[in-house]
Structure 1
Amino acid sequence: MTARPNSRVRDRLIAVGALTAMWMLLWGVFSWATFLSGLIVCAVVIAAFPLPPVTFAGRPRPVNLVRFTVKFFTDLVQASAHLAWTAFRFRYEAHSAVIAVRLTVRSDLNLTLCGEAVSLIPGSLIVDTDRDAGVLYIHVFDVNDRQAVEQYRREVHALEARIVRAIGSDAELKQITNEKGQP
């Protein structure tokens, strides 16, 4: 599916705006000179190194976005508490593992969003991805047996389902529903 010319121009303008804002934040100076130099540098970067368009076929669902956000922050707090508890336990030997999780929806956007969400939660980090197969390779802290590994895989799939329910397309939502057996 190719992007329409109007949406492609809009996407590039948004990218230039975001990069210019980042430029100004990095310089720490909010002046016309910084703004104009940021615009020029960002426009040159966008023109010289064009990225392939990221298609977004989904639509935001506000209720599910709130559900995702609340669960995500709950996961952040729980994972942080677990890491702190593990750090202060005497004579406890935490084991880690690198596990492969095949995502249900194999779009680049879903792969990226799931990878970012997983990496933001303390105790887990994306170490590699297989874009073609839709697989995330995740370093997970404190998994002691096969059951803990499978539980973590289920958690990643649940995270993916929440992301798709929050912003996915109807076709992606159908994929999640068919895979999990629930809406």
Structure 2
Amino acid sequence: MTSADLLLHPVRLRVVRAFLGDRALTTSALRDELADVPPTTLYRHVAKLVDAGVLAVVAERRVRGAVERTYVLRLSAADIGLDEFAAMSADEHRQAFMGFVAGLLGEFDRYLDRDGFDVVRDEVSYGLAGMWLDDAEAAELRRELTRVLQPRLANPPAPGRTRRVLATVVLSGEKGVAAHGGGGSIEQ
């Protein structure tokens, strides 16, 4: 099974997302977060991720005669390599992107189902921007975003902190010169 096949399954993608932000979760905590996934299905997909080395067991303890395991995400194993990503067919990219977007929709829907959600207070946003960049400028933008995000990705959970998920999609559009001078706006 390729990394893409493993990671882009809808349930496994949700499991991986639950661990983002350097979280350690037991299967019961994971079951609480993914309450709409039947337990046997959840355990089967957790086992696949453990077997593939994407999740690692960091603690075990006895609970009512059973062993409760605590897992963490191995980020290096939860990545689709650049070579594999580049080799995917158009249909594989469509399927992967649909899984990605469906996961975002599900996560946003669960946020909206919370009592008292407040998008302004909670700093929730979504937007779209169009910009004219050559390949070097696009690479520079990626490096700058990485430089800004990297230190924050290392933040541990702490009082006052909220786990936030930032999703990015960069699409390459039409080539050419803007008829009216270029520039883009951010829509929200």
State the TM bucket, normalised to the shorter chain. under 0.3
> TM-score normalised to the size of structure 1?
0.25
Structure with the higher helix share, 1 or 2: 1
* TM-score normalised by the chain length of structure 2: 0.25
